[in-house]
Amino acid sequence: MKKALIYLLTILFISANVVYAANWVTIKASNGKTALLDTQNIDISNQYVKYWVKATKSGYTYRYYMMSDCSSQTSCIIETYKYDSTGKVVDSSENGINLEKIVPDTLNEALYRNVCEIVRKNPLSIEPAVWTTYLEDVSKQIKSSWKPKYSKTKEKSLIASVSYKIDKNGNILSREITQSSGNEDYDNSVNEAINTIKSFAALPSSFEGDLEFMITFNYAIKGDAIAESVTMNSNGIGEILISKSKFHPGEAVVNGVVCIIALPFVILGALATQ
């Protein structure tokens, strides 16, 4: 039974190596001990982080699947796999999750420190609700400065997307249109909107990295505006959808002519008062 389990684990790791390309970085503790940390395949869930560590001992290679809590300075080894010189799994164990305090000046402390530094720069380490509030504020700020313009078109709607990168203080590091609508005047109106924004609010204090987000500008020429949304995707990139409609109260500019757009009942109400 044990041989069958080891064989299965070997197959799983071969399959995993095909799917996941590890990026092993050497971590050295103050006591001189070293291990390799896979910085590419790190699973982050708020303050909790799971990651792979590799080390050699007495001619064998060990892989440890570890978990740390970056808010309480605790960690543990969840699973251990032992390999011989041919790369074959010869032993394994599952320890479950039993977080323990980090011992100072150890290899475990060095691993914890490096992993949690990565976590603090990853948007996925922040509660989703925090990002929802932040991205909604960004959406309102940009939408208020966006005045759609477009050249005559047969399209029912026009869509353009812009990518942003900002630092922890809300300063804009880069921005560019990543998806053109194909309508020059419309793209120009999007450019005008983003160029009026000089900076955004500072990022959450517990987040130490830069933030990337995409904004999609959707303008309905025919029909109603689509539902707006904000989200943080699984890659840690914010996604914002803002929408306006020609048939909602407001203004649109067609071929340089300003059109005041009002709902029918507003017009009828005005006539009834005359």
pLDDT tens, 190-208?
999 999 999 999 999 888 8
Domain parsing of the chain, residue ranges: 2-120, 125-272
Residue 77, pLDDT > 80, answer yes
Q: Which residue has the higher pLDDT, 212 or 253?
A: 212
Q: 83 pLDDT exceeds 80?
A: yes
- Give the pLDDT of residue 267: 39
Mean pLDDT of 37-54: 88
Q: What is the mean pLDDT of residues 22-28?
A: 87
Alpha helices in 103-232 (DSSP H): 107-120, 128-145, 184-195
Residue 248: predicted pLDDT: 62
| Cβ proximity of 20 and 40 under 8 Å | yes
171 band by pLDDT with thresholds 50, 70 and 90? very high
Nearest to 239 by CA among 248, 247, 230: 230
> Going by DSSP bridges, is the β-strand pair 250-254/149-150 parallel, antiparallel, or unpaired?
parallel
Those residues with Cβ within 8 angstroms of residue 10's Cβ, 6 or more apart along the chain or in another chain: 88, 89
What pTM was computed for the model? Answer: 0.68
Lookup: tokens for 75: 């960690």
Residue owning tokens 């320890």: 95
Residue 29 to residue 201: CA distance in whole angstroms = 38
Mean pLDDT estimate for the chain: 84
The per-residue pLDDT for 74 is: 95
Q: 81: which strand partners?
A: 63, 92
Q: Does domain 125-272 have CATH number 3.30.70?
A: no
User: Measured between alpha carbons, how far is 34 from 56 in angstroms, rounded to an integer?
Assistant: 9
CATH of 2-120, one of 3.90.105.10, 2.40.128.710, 3.40.50.300, 1.10.10.1400: 2.40.128.710
pLDDT of the residue at 44: 84
Please check the confidence at residue 47 and state whether its pLDDT lies above 90.
Answer: no
pLDDT above 60 for 186: yes
Residue 261, pLDDT score: 41
- Comparing 7-11, 80-84, 101-105, 179-183, the range with the smallest average pLDDT is 7-11
Rg of the chain, C-alpha, whole Å: 27
Question: Residue for token digits 């603090």?
Answer: 120
pLDDT computed for residue 22 by the predictor: 64
- Report, as an integer, the average pLDDT of 67-86: 94
Q: Tell me the percentage of the chain whose pLDDT exceeds 90.
A: 66
pLDDT tens-digit series, residues 107-144: 999 999 999 888 888 898 888 999 999 999 999 999 99
Largest CA distance in the chain: 95
